[in-house]
Amino acid sequence: MASNSRQPAKRVLAPELTSAHTQVEGEAEDEDTNPPNFLVLPSGAGANRVLMVGVATEIDDVGQDDEYLRLRCSDPDGNVFFTYAGQYSKGPKATITDLEVPSRVAVIGKPKTYEQEGDVFVSLNPETVHEISEEEYNDMVLEAAEATVERFAGEASSEKFETLAQSAHQESERVEVYDRCVEVLETLHEDMADDPADDTFSEDELEQKDYDELRALASEFDSVSGNAAADDIVSALAGEPRPA
């Protein structure tokens, strides 16, 4: 009998999703199920399903014979990811059709790689698309940033996918992805700050601050997350959890 279990959706930021370019086949649970495919994330984890949030900025019909909608989303730092919905994604397609742009959305879906003019790109086959509030959007961006930092720190990665990530990406590429994800966190802080011009810092400036200074910087997130996420992120930043 086929299993109805699904891989958990990983919270991923756009810079990491779009920097990935390798998919591998996992192991089937039994002979009646198809093996899951995993996108090898630069942080050293495998993602069969992902949870992404962004601001929907464009909806286009890119189909030839049948309607095939492309949803363009961007994160707080302007990084872009795409979701495609056609006849086999009727629920998400209906939601996308009714969206007004710009609007904040949360997308759960399966990442899919495809080649175009020799380059590899990643898009999402959506399972669900939901419009969310600004508060939910900020909270979910923060949670994705925290999950990303934990993966790069080795707390949420796996030996198998870490080895695959090292093979698929040069160290400099992985550091660049990490830095871009941290920039998303900084931009979210800037958007939330009362005076963003005085409250934003470069990565070099962050690295020169001690824990208490970093904790004060991240305190803005407490009102959004409602948990200890700010402490966790600051601890990770202070420890410089970058790929070895």
Sign of the CA dihedral running 72, 139, 228, 182: positive
Nearest alpha carbon to residue 3 among 40, 41, 35, 30: 30
User: For 145-162, what is each residue's pLDDT tens digit?
Assistant: 888 888 888 766 678 898
Q: Is a pLDDT exceeding 60 seen at residue 11?
A: yes
Can you tell me the distance from the alpha carbon of 219 to that of 133, in angstroms, rounded to the nearest whole number?
21
Helix (H) or strand (E) holding 242: none
Q: What is the CB neighbour count within 10 angstroms for residue 179? A: 12
Residue with more model confidence, 233 or 50: 50
Domain boundaries, the chain: 9-132, 139-238
Give the 3-state secondary structure percentages of the chain, helix then strand then coil, rounded to 5: 40, 25, 35
Most confident range (mean pLDDT) of 31-40, 110-119, 122-131, 179-188 is 122-131
For the domain 9-132, what is the CATH code?
2.40.50.140
Q: Look up tokens 């994705």; give the residue.
A: 144
Can you tell me the distance from the alpha carbon of 71 to that of 84, in angstroms, rounded to the nearest whole number?
6
Length of the chain: 244
pLDDT attached to residue 1: 35
Mean pLDDT lowest for which of 49-53, 54-58, 83-87, 126-130?
Answer: 83-87
